[in-house]
Chain A
Amino acid sequence: MSEPVNAESAVLQKTFELRILRYTPGRDEEPAFGSFQVTGAEGMTVLEALQTIKDTLDGTLSYRWSCRMAVCGSCGMMINGTPRLACSTLLRDLPPGPVTVEPLQNFPIERDLVISVDAFVKKIESVYPYLIPKEQKTVAEGPHLQTPAQMAAYESFSDCINCMLCYAACPQFGENPDFIGPGAMAMLQRYNGDSRDGGRQKRLDTIHGEDGVWSCTAVGICSEVCPKQVDPANAVNQNKTNSAFDFFLRFLRTEQPQ
């Protein structure tokens, strides 16, 4: 009888080099790269490599993560200069050589790979990210029904996980931090496209300025980097049309916004 195979040793091990941008406010004058050698399973993700570093090499390494399966949107970072989710990026899929890991571009760094999300959250909040029912119904009157076609009109936009990769990729957000940005526009379209919703005008009024939908120049890279195929560029484009019609049709409206 042969000895049972140790499952752990059967996994092909490999050593990777990660160059990570480090920054501790109050201590460091400016961010600087630190280099780490990580040995682990050949199929390990960037997030697993960061966890290995934190567990075995440097416990002070800071980064956000939660679900490990591209659902929570916490572990967005620049990997070799591209905004990606660390949990769904396999090291073996990257070109050989050191892997560069930096915090998401266009955001203030809080510490190491952790960025400040405050301004982003405020933008999401500003577009009324909840259903504003067209008509109030009591429980006795039953649910707000929707056909599959009505659901399909907004469903893809509801897949957004607020990971902010699109903001890190967007050159116009880089130029103008007040730009409402692709993610919030996808969120806006998720509700404006919902047949049960009655808040369309309210939301359009939040984006008709220069920092609203009109800061977009249709670069389209937001949709390319989106890990959930939300297509925020499409949401922006639809609302350029909506906002442009609103520009002229507002004179015909009987009800003026407060």
Chain B
Amino acid sequence: MTFSTREIQKRSISPIFWLLFGAGGMLSALFGPALILITGILAPTGTGLPENFLSYDAALAFARNPLGKLVLLALIALFFWHGAERVFLTLKDMKAGSSLVLKLGTYGVAALVSVATILLLLAIGF
């Protein structure tokens, strides 16, 4: 009995985007709802949080702390990479445009946001 072997295909670069997507999905599932609750509802209405919890000074100190910078970068960038993959696959299935246009509009945006976040976090100082 002879088995046919497929020609070994060129390796796809999808794993890079898929891992970013997976990491973002994990983070958004773990921290997304809590972040919405704290920054969207509790902080603006001033309920249940210590005073000055999200005041300008407190937030600035957080963003100037190296660990705080990492947390902010991971949350912002990976959330965007997660969304970019979802939106890209949806638009691709809807045949909303050429692959290059869709990639620029989704992965491109996530890349821009990631770079901008890094620059802003550096500009804000330590």
A residues at B contact (CB < 8 Å)? 122-123, 125-126, 128-129, 171, 175, 205-206, 208-212, 214, 217, 240, 243-244, 247-248, 257
With A217-B89, A240-B18, A244-B19 known as contacts, the answer to whether A212 contacts B12 (CB < 8 A) is yes
| Alpha-carbon gap, A247 to B20, bound state (A) | 14
Are B9 and A211 in contact, CB atoms less than 8 angstroms apart? yes
CA distance A126 to B16 in the complex (A): 25
Return A28 CB to nearest CB of chain B, in Å.
30
Helix, strand, loop or mixed for chain B's interface? loop
Determine if B8 and A206 form an interchain contact, defined as CB atoms under 8 angstroms apart. Answer: yes
Chain A hits for B93, CB < 8 A: 171, 175, 217
Assess whether A243 is in contact with B4, with CB atoms less than 8 Å apart.
no
Count of chain A to chain B residue pairs whose CB atoms are closer than 8 Å in the complex: 50
B47 at the A/B interface (Cβ < 8 Å)? no
Residues of A within 8 Å of B10, CB to CB, are: 209-210
26 of the cross-chain contacts (CB-CB < 8 Å) are A126-B3, A126-B4, A126-B5, A126-B6, A171-B93, A205-B8, A206-B5, A206-B8, A208-B9, A208-B11, A208-B12, A209-B9, A209-B10, A209-B11, A209-B12, A210-B10, A210-B12, A212-B9, A214-B14, A214-B18, A217-B89, A244-B15, A244-B18, A247-B11, A247-B15, A248-B15
Q: Please indicate which of the listed interface residues A205, A209, A211, A257 has the most CB atoms of chain B within 10 Å of its own CB.
A: A209
A interface SS class: helix
The B1-44 residues at the A interface (CB cut-off 8 A) are 3-6, 8-12, 14-16, 18-19
Cα separation A126 to B8 with both chains bound (whole Å): 10
- 7 extra interchain contacts, Cβ-Cβ under 8 A, other than A175-B93, A210-B10, A211-B9? A126-B6, A205-B8, A208-B9, A209-B10, A240-B15, A240-B18, A244-B15
Q: How far is the CB of B10 from chain A (nearest CB, A)?
A: 6
Question: Which residues of chain B have a CB within 8 Å of any CB of chain A?
Answer: 3-6, 8-12, 14-16, 18-19, 89, 93
Distance of A210 Cα from B11 Cα, bound (Å): 7
**Quick one: closest B residue to A184, CB to CB?**
B6
Q: Is A206's CB under 8 angstroms from B6's CB?
A: yes
B92 to A: closest C-beta gap in Å: 8
A237 to chain B minimum Cβ distance, whole angstroms, is 10
Least distance between B63 CB and chain A CB atoms (Å):
31
Q: How far is the CA of A208 from the CA of B8 in the complex (A)?
A: 8
Cβ contacts under 8 Å, A240 to chain B: 15, 18
Q: 6 tightest CB-CB pairs across the interface, nearest first?
A: A209-B9, A244-B15, A247-B15, A126-B6, A214-B14, A125-B3
Q: Which residues of B contact A244 (CB under 8 A)?
A: 15, 18-19
Establish whether residues A210 and B9, one from each chain, have CB atoms under 8 Å apart when the complex forms.
yes
**B11 partner residues in chain A, CB cutoff 8 A:** 208-209, 247
